[in-house]
């Protein structure tokens, strides 16, 4: 059956006439059925930890659009919570966490091996999905990359420039490195358990990699990603891994070789032609339509979608957005994108 799953074929290096397609945040607030299910759950975290409802929202975009992959519904900040950080979400503003800015804060965190009891419902969601998805649909698990998750844990929230994390790594590098190491080990445990529960592919989201420059990119984006992938490949050698160092720019070049990733997801700050010349030469790429097209639609969406497909048709490619779909997107535009990819 795996041979019928086009995403697994692309991840194995096959160039397909029509690229498989899925969409970051495809289960989300732009869908009325998602909003109804979230209201039933009561709040965002309750939805993440309710395996039946998380299964339902994961399936909703598959039923509506027939994407080639489903990505389990969860959040990258569940690992900090499993490590013992306080986590809550403020409506309209996003996540809030207890902060890590001293050795005493770090000492209160759990060991990486102790996360599984908290995260058990996430694994159950994956087990549910293995029996509920259409046979041709690939199941993707995910985690946040250590640098990105650390930025939230240091600041206690998302920030425009990840300034608090940069400040801590510069003023107390031993503490910051210990946090990165703890997150790296927890991410290995988390993703390994996801694979054991049924994930056929896993993805590392390094959403704030672009704020790392020079040697810092190598130390905090490449090195932890390589450690995670090396450990996962030792345990699960047949499971493909997608890495997404968002806004890496020129650092996208060689990222797959340096980390062992089977596919590099690309944001829309670089062109598909550039990606074909500089990144796809090393293997599968994923991306990279601007998510704003899901709001505006029209001829520009069709034109840009076709341009990306044409630019990347010479190698393995998974069509996706350059970032997650936004809550103000129109589902009709999602369908137009899919129709354009599949029908020319």
- C-alpha dist (Å) from residue 76 to 147, 164, 174, 185, 190: 12, 19, 24, 15, 11
- Structural contact between residues 55 and 128, judged by C-beta atoms closer than 8 angstroms: yes
The question of whether 29 is a catalytic residue gets the answer yes
Catalytic residue among 75, 105, 181, 216: 75
Nearest of 9, 12, 3, 4 to residue 283 by alpha carbon: 12
Q: What residues have CB less than 8 Å from 335, skipping those under 6 apart?
A: 65
Is the omega angle on the peptide bond into residue 171 within 30 degrees of 0, that is, cis? no
Nearest in space to 57 (alpha carbons), one of 125, 6, 140, 139: 125
Bridging pattern class, strands 87-90 and 94-97: antiparallel
Annotated catalytic residue within 30, 34, 49, 152: 152
Measured distance CA(125)–CA(222) in Å, rounded: 30
38 is catalytic: yes
Tell me, yes or no, if 152 is annotated catalytic.
yes
Token representation of residue 219: 């130390």
Is position 246 annotated as part of the catalytic site? Answer: no
Tokens (6 digits) for 6: 């086009």
Active site residues: 25, 29, 38, 75, 152
């Amino acid at each position: 059956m795996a041979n019928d799953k086009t995403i697994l074929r692309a991840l194995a290096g096959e160039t397909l006439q029509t690229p498989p397609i899925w969409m970051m945040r495809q289960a989300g607030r732009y869908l009325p059925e998602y909003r109804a299910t979230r209201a039933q759950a009561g709040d965002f975290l309750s939805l993440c930890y309710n395996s039946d409802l998380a299964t339902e929202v994961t399936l909703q975009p598959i039923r509506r659009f027939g994407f080639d992959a489903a990505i389990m519904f969860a959040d990258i900040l569940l690992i900090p919570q499993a490590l013992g950080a306080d986590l809550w979400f403020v409506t309209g503003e996003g996540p809030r966490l207890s902060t890590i800015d001293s050795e005493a804060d770090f000492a209160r965190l759990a060991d990486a091996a102790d996360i599984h009891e908290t995260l058990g419902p996430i694994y159950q969601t994956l087990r549910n999905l293995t029996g509920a998805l259409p046979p041709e649909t690939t199941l993707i698990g995910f985690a946040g990359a250590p640098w990105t998750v650390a930025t939230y844990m240091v600041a206690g929230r998302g920030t425009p420039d990840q300034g608090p994390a940069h400040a801590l790594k510069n003023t107390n590098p031993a503490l910051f490195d210990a946090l990165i190491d703890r997150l790296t080990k927890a991410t290995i445990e988390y993703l390994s358990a996801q694979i054991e529960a049924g994930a056929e592919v896993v993805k590392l989201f390094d959403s704030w990699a672009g704020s790392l420059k020079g040697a810092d990119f190598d130390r905090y984006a490449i090195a932890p990603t390589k450690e995670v992938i090396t450990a996962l490949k030792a345990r699960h050698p047949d499971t493909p891994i997608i890495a997404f160092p968002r806004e890496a720019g020129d650092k996208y070049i060689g990222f797959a070789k340096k980390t062992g990733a089977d596919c590099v997801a690309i944001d829309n700050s670089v062109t598909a032609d550039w990606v074909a010349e500089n990144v796809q030469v090393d293997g599968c790429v994923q991306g990279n339509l601007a998510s704003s097209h899901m709001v505006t639609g029209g001829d520009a969406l069709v034109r840009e979608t076709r341009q990306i497909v044409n630019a990347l048709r010479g190698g393995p490619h998974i069509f996706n957005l350059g970032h997650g779909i936004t809550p103000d997107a129109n589902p009709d535009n999602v369908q137009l994108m899919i129709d354009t990819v599949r029908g020319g």
